[in-house]
Amino acid sequence: MTAPRPPWTATVRIAAREGELARWLERALAPEARREVPRSRAELRRRGRVVELRIVAADAGAMRAAMNTFLGWVALSLATVAAAQGKPPSAGAPAEALISRSR
């Protein structure tokens, strides 16, 4: 008998320029993170201006699906904020004006 494979894990950290945006993003993603999905789960937490999303998946396919889904929700959420603030969409990067650059 073979030992069970360890799960796939990924952590995504989104550093917002403002704490209010981080709180809003956390509230937008929380219902999806709490949702039960057969082969993956997500944990969400916020520390100041940083929203951290940790995904644990049973296999590569489940990880790909979860990452694509959550990153899509992040992009949509940030594009919605930008549109509400009257900012034009950026070519290929709708969240560029709202997220801090990594150092």
Q: Is residue 3 part of a domain?
A: no
User: In this model, does residue 50 exceed pLDDT 90?
Assistant: yes
Q: Is residue 34 part of a domain?
A: yes
Instruction: Give me 87's structure tokens.
Output: 């900012």
Q: Is residue 18 part of a domain?
A: yes
- How many folded domains does the chain comprise? 1
User: In this model, does residue 102 exceed pLDDT 60?
Assistant: no
pLDDT at 12: 93
Looking at per-residue pLDDT, the higher value among 82 and 7 belongs to 7
Q: Which amino acid is at 9?
A: T
pTM of the model: 0.78
Average pLDDT, the chain: 84
Contacts of 58 (CB under 8 A, 6+ apart): 7, 8, 39, 40
Q: Is residue 93 part of a domain?
A: no
User: In this model, does residue 101 exceed pLDDT 70?
Assistant: no
Q: Is residue 39 part of a domain?
A: yes
Q: Is residue 55 part of a domain?
A: yes
User: What domain range includes position 14?
Assistant: 8-84
Looking at per-residue pLDDT, the higher value among 73 and 99 belongs to 73
Taking residues 24-30, what's their average pLDDT? 94
Q: Is residue 49 part of a domain?
A: yes
Radius of gyration for the chain, computed over Cα atoms and rounded to the nearest angstrom: 15
